[in-house]
């Protein structure tokens, strides 16, 4: 068995603030996810239903998998003034590419030391119960807003995973909770955080992130409260994202150069007349490319109507 510290030290050297390992076992919350889909909370994200069988075990993605290495990369920084409001994870270079490149280096290192081992990198695009695996690997626990919260660092972390056939020493699952706090529930502009089936869930059909990115309808009737790509409200109000003397690591500016190099964006008004060439320029190498030109125009116009 490979000692846990050998892996986490490599992850730290690559710039990950959070890292841990869990066994590649069947997830505990697959039935809860299935019920979430059945409740209609996935909206038009039909891929959530199609990929349910693949989410039943990491071995569906990598036969013979024994361990899952989970990592977290801090992306927090202030929103640039004057620009159209977008989620902070989309300010810099596409996080899929940034985290994947780091995990590829980790994979190469482990492959050199353990010839014949199998690996698969997953960064938000593979059918994996990511937050559950991150919880089991000790990175954080589930908040009422369904975000993964680390008690020392908060929730401003993007997740990545390296599934492997190697047997690695595992972490203990993270412990923590929100207690009686309902800051995110009360602050959510659209009431998307709902209590159903005995737990707090996000109804995507009301969530501004879903409305501005995943919803492909030509028109929006919902108030997006000024956001044109994603939304950070439930994280902005979370007490675990507010630094204090006893917890100085919370909401610290990202140290990742690819995130610090903020891609310039136009004002909301300028987005209303966005050309195809302008869309290509402002979304190149960015996670904002998920939203097509017509969506950004739609979002900007709707934000202007209800501002």
Catalytic residue set = 124
Q: Please state, in angstroms and rounded to a whole number, the distance separating the CA atoms of residues 190 and 208.
A: 7
Which residues make beta-bridge pairs with 49?
A: none
Structure tokens at 258: 């690819």
Q: Give the DSSP H/E element, type plus range, for residue 98.
A: helix 95-113
Q: Please state, in angstroms and rounded to a whole number, the distance separating the CA atoms of residues 159 and 196.
A: 26
CA distances from 42 to 37, 51, 148, 207 (A): 5, 12, 19, 10
Burial class (CB in 10 A: 0-12, 13-18, 19+), 254: buried
Q: Please state, in angstroms and rounded to a whole number, the distance separating the CA atoms of residues 279 and 289.
A: 8
**Comparing C-alpha atoms, which of 144, 122, 125, 143 is closest to residue 133?**
122
Q: Please state, in angstroms and rounded to a whole number, the distance separating the CA atoms of residues 2 and 239.
A: 36
CB 143 within 8 A of CB 238: yes
For tokens 């202007």, name the residue: 304
Residues 225, 226, 230, 231: is their CA dihedral positive or negative? negative
Structure tokens at 89: 């994870």
Q: Please state, in angstroms and rounded to a whole number, the distance separating the CA atoms of residues 141 and 45.
A: 25
Q: Please state, in angstroms and rounded to a whole number, the distance separating the CA atoms of residues 256 and 72.
A: 12
Q: Please state, in angstroms and rounded to a whole number, the distance separating the CA atoms of residues 133 and 131.
A: 5
């Amino acid at each position: 068995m490979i000692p846990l510290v050998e892996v986490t030290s490599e992850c730290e050297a690559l710039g990950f603030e959070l890292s841990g390992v869990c066994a590649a076992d069947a997830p505990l919350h697959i039935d809860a996810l299935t019920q979430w889909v059945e409740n209609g909370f996935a909206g038009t994200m039909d891929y959530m239903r199609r990929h349910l069988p693949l989410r039943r075990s990491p071995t569906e993605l990598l036969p013979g998998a024994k361990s899952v290495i989970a990592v977290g990369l801090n992306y927090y920084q202030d929103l640039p003034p004057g620009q159209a409001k977008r989620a902070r994870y989309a300010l810099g270079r596409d996080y899929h590419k940034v985290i994947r490149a780091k995990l590829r280096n980790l994979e190469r290192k482990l492959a050199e030391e353990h010839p014949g081992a199998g690996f698969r990198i997953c960064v938000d695009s593979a059918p994996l119960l990511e937050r559950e695996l991150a919880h089991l690997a000790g990175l954080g626990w589930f908040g009422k807003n369904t975000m993964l919260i680390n008690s020392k660092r908060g929730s401003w972390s993007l997740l990545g995973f390296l599934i492997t056939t190697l047997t690695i020493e595992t972490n203990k699952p993270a412990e923590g909770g929100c207690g009686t706090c309902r800051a995110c529930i009360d602050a959510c502009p659209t009431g998307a955080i709902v209590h159903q089936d005995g737990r707090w869930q996000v109804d995507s059909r009301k969530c501004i992130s879903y409305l501005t990115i995943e919803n492909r309808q030509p028109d929006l009737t919902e108030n997006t409260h000024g956001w044109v790509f994603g939304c950070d409200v439930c994280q902005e109000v979370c007490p675990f994202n507010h630094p204090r003397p006893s917890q100085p690591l919370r909401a610290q500016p990202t140290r990742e150069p690819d995130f610090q190099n903020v891609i310039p964006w136009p004002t909301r008004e300028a987005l209303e007349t966005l050309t195809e060439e302008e869309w290509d320029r402002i979304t190149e190498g960015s996670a904002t490319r998920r939203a097509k030109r017509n969506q950004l125009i739609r979002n900007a116009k709707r934000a202007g109507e209800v501002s």
